Amino acid sequence: MNENIRVARDGGVMNIALARADKKNALTGAMYLALIDAFDEADGSPDIRAILISGEGGNFTAGNDIGDFLGGGSFEDFPALRFIRRLAILDTPIIAAVEGNAIGVGTTMLFHCDLVYATADARLQMPFVNLALVPEAASSLLVPRRLGPQKAAELLMLGEAMDGREAHRVGLVNAVVEHPSLKAYAMERAQLLASKPRNAVATTRRLIRGDRDELLERIDLEAREFNKALHSQEAREVFAAFLAKGKK
């Protein structure tokens, strides 16, 4: 396991904590690979009935580490894409406890979670266009399908943020929970889900989530467009400005 991904068992629940608090839990390639390993372990173990994912240090995740984009290479070779594809075909139910920043993939991954709990002041944002990039994790399919095309335009084209209450209002978050109780409440719900008959839960989950091939097809389409955008002049200018700002 990666030192920035903490994995523990609590009964039938695999508890995954994103633990890179000094970088607001921004996800590196190594962290993505560790998450994939954890998902593989969960799906391969009949004793693991649910996954709970949260962040340490007051944030869920600031999204993909910008250094991955600055390092060059094809997005289609990034561990981030492998993570997204693995998440889309996960069999084990997944619950998220969201506080602080949930940026980029920190929000798009929530559309693949079965239950999401957040604090009122959580900040969910998909600012891909602000970076001259495009949506990922099948969000171009799932966001308009779940929230409607107008809301999708606000979130994906304008890159507007939602707090936890707005995310609850539009149906992305199941409940808004106070900070001190968030992780305990999410674990309680994960344990309740883990106590249910395993095969019935798994089948119901597949029926609810629908066609996996459709999701994977959209993920791959987005990845091709993301890769083109990543190597565009627009993106180079945005990343150059980002680097210049960081040096001030």
Q: What is the CATH number of the domain that holds 17?
A: 3.90.226.10
Distance of CA 180 to the CA centre of its chain: 22
pLDDT at residue 247, rounded to an integer: 63
For residue 216, being part of any structural domain is answered with no
For residue 230, being part of any structural domain is answered with no
SS3 of the chain: helix, strand, coil, percent, to 5: 55, 15, 30
For residue 129, being part of any structural domain is answered with yes
Task: Grade residue 246 by pLDDT with cuts at 50, 70 and 90.
Answer: low
* Number of domains present in the structure of the chain: 1
For residue 110, being part of any structural domain is answered with yes
For residue 80, being part of any structural domain is answered with yes
Show the CA angle centred on residue 126, arms to residues 122 and 132, nearest 5°: 145
Task: Grade residue 156 by pLDDT with cuts at 50, 70 and 90.
Answer: very high
- Cα 65 to Cα 28: distance, rounded to the nearest angstrom: 6
Task: Grade residue 248 by pLDDT with cuts at 50, 70 and 90.
Answer: low
For residue 225, being part of any structural domain is answered with no
User: Which structural domain, as residue segments, surrounds residue 64?
Assistant: 5-180
For residue 64, being part of any structural domain is answered with yes
pLDDT at residue 75, rounded to an integer: 83
For residue 238, being part of any structural domain is answered with no
pLDDT averaged over every residue in the chain: 95
Task: Grade residue 68 by pLDDT with cuts at 50, 70 and 90.
Answer: confident
Tell me the pTM: 0.96
